[in-house]
Amino acid sequence: MAEHYFSADPSVPFRRQPVEAQVWGHRLLLDSGSGVFAQGRVDVGTAVLFRQTTPPEPGRYLDLGCGYGVIGIALAVAVPGSVVRAVDVNERAVLLTRDNAAALGIADRVRASTPEQVPDDERYDEIWSNPPIRVGKEALHGLLLRWLPRLAPGGRAVLVVGRNLGADSLQRWLAEQGHPTVRLSSAKGFRVLEVRPVPPTTPPPPVNEG
């Protein structure tokens, strides 16, 4: 059965389940939970994302679709001085991410919230995401068009997407939207894509009629 993660079903009792993750040389003990993506485990795509990358330079990051928070928390732990916004439409995911950050003593650098709670002027040096492909192409495109414009100039987004789930067509679509996009690596049926902001258009030079 396809895992659904649109919102927490309030009729499902909330049960926490511990997860141990090894990320970039750090051992993270986190709580996952029922009704939240990847209960009791680190998702294969997320694990590929970690294995195929190294921690970025200190900065402001967005964990887009944070689930129980493993990506954003790994970034905050591996990069002291970084500040992370973690967003998810699933309120249980937001709660787990907040609690996981608090348990690791990094609640001051990991702000978890629903998308609506993010201030309009917040910008990011990097967006990291195992995006919700199963919401459908239109919703996924809408999600990326909503958040990619928040990348600071010179920033980037790092996305992990299953090849069978349309990684290559997503890469083409991003390029068509004006985002320079390259495949950083490919492993276990997943692509890791690096997406750059749309370059600013430079006005044509003035015509010298003298």
Among 19, 35, 82, 90, binds ligand SAM (CB under 6 A): 90
Q: Are 167 and 133 in contact (CB under 8 A)?
A: no
CA–CA dist 138, 9 (Å, integer): 23
Question: Can residue 100 be called a binding residue for ligand SAM (CB under 6 A)?
Answer: no
- What's the min distance (Å) between Cβ of 84 and ligand SAM? 12
**197: which residues sit within 8 A by CB, 6+ positions away?**
148, 149, 151, 152, 153, 154, 155, 156, 179
Three-state DSSP class for residue 154: strand
Among 130, 171, 181, 193, binds ligand SAM (CB under 6 A): 130
Of 64-72, 104-112, 118-126, 165-173, the window that binds ligand SAM (rule: CB under 6 A) is 64-72
| Integer angstrom CA distances of residue 11 from 14, 36, 40, 99, 155 | 9, 13, 20, 22, 41
Among 19, 28, 30, 66, binds ligand SAM (CB under 6 A): 66
Question: Can residue 135 be called a binding residue for ligand SAM (CB under 6 A)?
Answer: yes
The footprint of ligand SAM (CB under 6 A) covers: 5, 37-38, 43, 46, 65-67, 70-71, 87-90, 93, 115, 130, 132, 135, 143
